Structures are given as C-alpha cells and as structure tokens.
Amino acid sequence: MIALIVTVNIKPGFKEQFMESMMGDARGSNNDEPGCLRFDVLQDNEDENRIHLYEVYQDEAAVEAHRAAPHYTKWRAEVADWFATENVRRLATPVYPAPEKWEKRPPAD
C-alpha cells in the first residue's frame, strides 16, 4: 500500500474555482478507481488557501492509474495556473489499520 500526503497552496482569489475542480478529482478517485482506497481533501486551519490531500492506493499501479484517469488529467489542466507554490508530496506506508484491514470505501456523493 502507498499513501500520499500532498500539500497544495492556492493563489489568492482562486480557491473557489480550485475547490470545485478538486471535488471532481476527489469524487472520481473515490468512485471510479478500484485501486484508490481513500482520497481525502483537508482544509488547513491556519491558511484558507492551503489544502492537504490524503490518498491511499493499493500499489504503484493504482497510483499510475490515478495519474492517467480522466478526472485527474482534467483537474491538473484546470488548476495548473492556480498553484501559489510547488506542491509538497510525501510518500508514506499505512501502518494502522493494518493493510489487510483496508477495503475500498463506498462511493462518495
């Protein structure tokens, strides 16, 4: 299993458009990607233009499938000019719950 923790800083004035596009990617990831076990969008409490993503994938093939998914490529194209900084991406390995306890979440709204 692979977890990604991504921090995105949005340019001021673009948050509403960014979040609308971000929700499309999040829903597509949760609903349409069998190898995506979790895709959470978190609002930073100290900076309204900072968003954190917590993503969990079955394996590297699932990460690559996400990057090739239509909802992801659409999102990347839409938000390309709205990043205030380079995104910070960290890789992690889920420890708890144990990998054998993970299962696909039910589709989001």
Reported as a single tens digit per residue, the pLDDT across 47-69 is: 999 999 999 999 999 999 999 99
Q: If you average pLDDT over every residue of the chain, what do you get?
A: 93
Evaluate whether the domain defined by 2-93 bears CATH number 3.20.20.70: no
User: With the CA atoms of 59, 20, 90 and 42 taken in that order, what torsion angle do they form, in degrees rounded to the nearest 10?
Assistant: -110
The pTM of the full predicted model, rounded to 2 decimals, is: 0.89
Residue with tokens 């692979």: 2
Binned at pLDDT 50, 70 and 90, residue 97 comes out as: confident
